[in-house]
């Protein structure tokens, strides 16, 4: 079950599938669901009703609940994976407000997800890319501030990808549940800070790979330069949309 403190959202109709294959069918009787397309302005006029979501598109969930929440932005970003009869099914993609920082850089979860998808696409090319090349692919997709730290003063080291053995993320889920996370509210984390979870992941590493070169960075010609780059407000997920 996919749930949060605000309400119940949906059910996984394939409970025996792997964590990476989980999709939830929304239960429309638990709340009134609306969806804000990712990349569009935060405005009530851009909200999409449950019956009008598009397959393959990402949305931020907005709920109106029986408990009194009105158009509340939960902060979860979901991707439509298909339909069960006429009911949309969603895959949890990320949290809207997570920020990672190594030095002066600020990497939100959307940017991190985009970097991972770029590397995944490189693996699927006709001749494919090695895991080492995927490290550089990810770095090229990250912000100008990150790449400046890599190129100009070396304040950020080369990106590392660690390959873990099969079944590791099922173990992460079991550990999270044993630490008190509700199985109905568990979402595969993109960022891990809990020491026991970090230790588990470290113990399952089978190989490590580092970026083989510096990513491209040019101050004057980089359209994502920090002079114009926007950083997500980490408190924005707690806001409500005006009617």
Separation of alpha carbons 147 and 142, rounded Å: 7
| 219 — pLDDT class (breaks 50, 70, 90) | low
| Longest Cα separation, the chain | 55
80 and 123 in a single domain? The answer is no
Tell me, yes or no, if the pTM score tops 0.75.
no
pLDDT at 184 (0 to 100)? 65
Residues 6+ apart with CB under 8 A from 37: 46, 48, 57, 58, 59
Residue 208 included in any domain: no
Helix (H) or strand (E) holding 241: none
Please give the sequence-ordered ranges of beta strands (E in DSSP) within the chain, or none if there are none. Answer: 2-3, 8-11, 24-26, 32-37, 48-49, 58-64, 72-84, 87-95, 99-100, 107-108, 160-164, 205-210
109 and 221 in a single domain? The answer is yes
134 and 176 in a single domain? The answer is no
Separation of alpha carbons 6 and 211, rounded Å: 41
Residue 106 included in any domain: yes
76 and 142 in a single domain? The answer is no
Residues 6+ apart with CB under 8 A from 61: 9, 33, 35, 73, 74, 76, 77, 78
98-128 residue pLDDT tens: 677 787 777 877 788 888 889 988 888 878 7
22 and 80 in a single domain? The answer is yes
87 and 172 in a single domain? The answer is no
43 and 113 in a single domain? The answer is no
Q: Is the dihedral of CA 13, 18, 22, 27 positive or negative?
A: positive
Separation of alpha carbons 44 and 49, rounded Å: 11
Residues 6+ apart with CB under 8 A from 3: 9, 182, 184, 185
Tokens read off for 107: 């990497």
45-86 residue pLDDT tens: 889 998 899 898 899 989 898 888 889 888 888 889 888 888
What does the pLDDT average to over 162-187? 86
- C-alpha dist (Å) from residue 17 to 13, 14, 24, 160: 9, 6, 12, 29
- C-alpha atoms less than 13 angstroms from C-alpha of 202 in its C-beta half-sphere: 8
pLDDT at 68 (0 to 100)? 84
Please, what is the average pLDDT of the chain?
A: 81
Instruction: Give residue 69's domain range.
Output: 2-95
Q: Is the pLDDT of residue 229 over 60?
A: no
Domain-ending residue, one of 95, 127, 150: 95
Helix (H) or strand (E) holding 198: helix 195-203
217 and 124 in a single domain? The answer is yes
Domain-ending residue, one of 95, 126, 148: 95
102 and 222 in a single domain? The answer is yes
87 and 174 in a single domain? The answer is no
- C-alpha dist (Å) from residue 47 to 35, 68, 71, 162, 214: 5, 19, 10, 39, 41
- C-alpha dist (Å) from residue 183 to 23, 96, 137, 193, 196: 15, 21, 34, 19, 18
Domain count, the chain: 3
10 and 86 in a single domain? The answer is yes
């Amino acid at each position: 079950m996919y749930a949060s403190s605000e309400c119940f959202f949906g059910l996984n109709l394939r409970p025996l599938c792997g964590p990476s294959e989980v999709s939830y069918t929304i239960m429309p009787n638990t709340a009134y669901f609306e969806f804000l397309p990712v990349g569009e302005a935060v405005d009530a006029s851009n909200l999409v009703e449950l019956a009008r979501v598009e397959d393959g598109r990402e949305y931020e969930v907005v709920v109106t609940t029986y408990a009194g929440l009105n158009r509340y932005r939960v902060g979860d970003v979901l991707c439509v994976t298909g339909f069960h009869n006429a009911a949309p099914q969603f895959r949890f993609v990320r949290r809207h407000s997570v920020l990672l920082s190594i030095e002066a850089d600020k990497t939100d979860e959307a940017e991190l997800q985009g970097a991972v998808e770029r590397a995944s696409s490189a693996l699927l090319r006709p001749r494919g890319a090695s895991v080492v090349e995927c490290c550089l692919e990810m770095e090229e997709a990250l912000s100008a501030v990150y790449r400046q730290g890599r190129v100009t003063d070396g304040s950020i080291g080369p990106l590392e990808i660690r390959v873990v053995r099969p079944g590791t993320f099922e173990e992460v889920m079991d550990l999270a549940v044993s630490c008190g996370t509700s199985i109905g509210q568990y979402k595969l984390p993109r960022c891990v800070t809990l020491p026991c979870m970090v230790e588990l992941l470290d113990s399952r590493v089978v190989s490590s790979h580092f970026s083989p070169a510096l990513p491209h960075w040019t101050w004057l010609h980089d359209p994502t330069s920090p002079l114009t780059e926007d950083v997500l407000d980490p408190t924005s997920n707690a806001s409500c949309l005006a009617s």
